[in-house]
């Protein structure tokens, strides 16, 4: 499987939409049956299937849990043979807890849409502590 042309632009558009808290535009980046897998033991860890679940059960919960302080900056995008790798820097501070992690999202793009995301972080324990 080869990553298609334009895949990096879809990833950049998604991160731009999320920075603006624009879930409608973010949703336009995803395939109907997309899956997002977030490892760990936090309140947001899990497997989310379909845009409605990704939006409502995962992404829409991040602002309330972080007190609106979550900032995710796209650092770099790398194109591999099968995946696009989005390198991000996430920070937040809320209720005496802080988050400062580098993450990589392994993304599969098909027909110009994100169909799979698998998140991996530099400090899984810190991520779990913050989101718990």
- Closest Cα to residue 43, out of 26, 66, 20? 66
Asked if residue 2 is part of any domain, the answer here is no
Q: In this structure, what CATH number is given to the domain that contains residue 97?
A: 3.10.450.50
User: Is residue 72 domain-resident?
Assistant: yes
**pLDDT average, residue stretch 62-87:** 96
Mean pLDDT, residues 59-79 taken together: 96
Query: What pLDDT sits at residue 4?
Result: 78
pLDDT at 3: 79
For residue 125, the enclosing domain spans 7-131
Whole-prediction pTM value?
0.93
pLDDT bin (cut points 50, 70, 90) of residue 1 is low
Q: Which of 121, 67, 127 is nearest to 96 (CA)?
A: 67
Q: Is residue 1 part of a domain?
A: no
């Amino acid at each position: 499987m080869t990553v298609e042309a334009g895949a990096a632009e879809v990833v950049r558009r998604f991160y731009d939409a999320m920075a603006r808290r624009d879930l409608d535009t973010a949703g336009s980046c995803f395939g109907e049956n997309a899956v997002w897998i977030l490892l760990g033991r936090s309140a947001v860890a899990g497997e989310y299937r379909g845009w409605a679940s990704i939006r409502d059960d995962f992404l829409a919960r991040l602002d309330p849990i972080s007190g609106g302080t979550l900032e995710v900056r796209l650092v770099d995008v790398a194109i591999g043979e099968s995946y696009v790798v989005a390198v991000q820097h996430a920070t937040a501070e809320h209720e005496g807890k802080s988050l400062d992690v580098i993450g990589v999202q392994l993304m599969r793009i098909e027909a110009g849409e994100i169909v799979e995301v698998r998140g991996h972080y530099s400090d899984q324990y810190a991520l779990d502590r913050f989101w718990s």
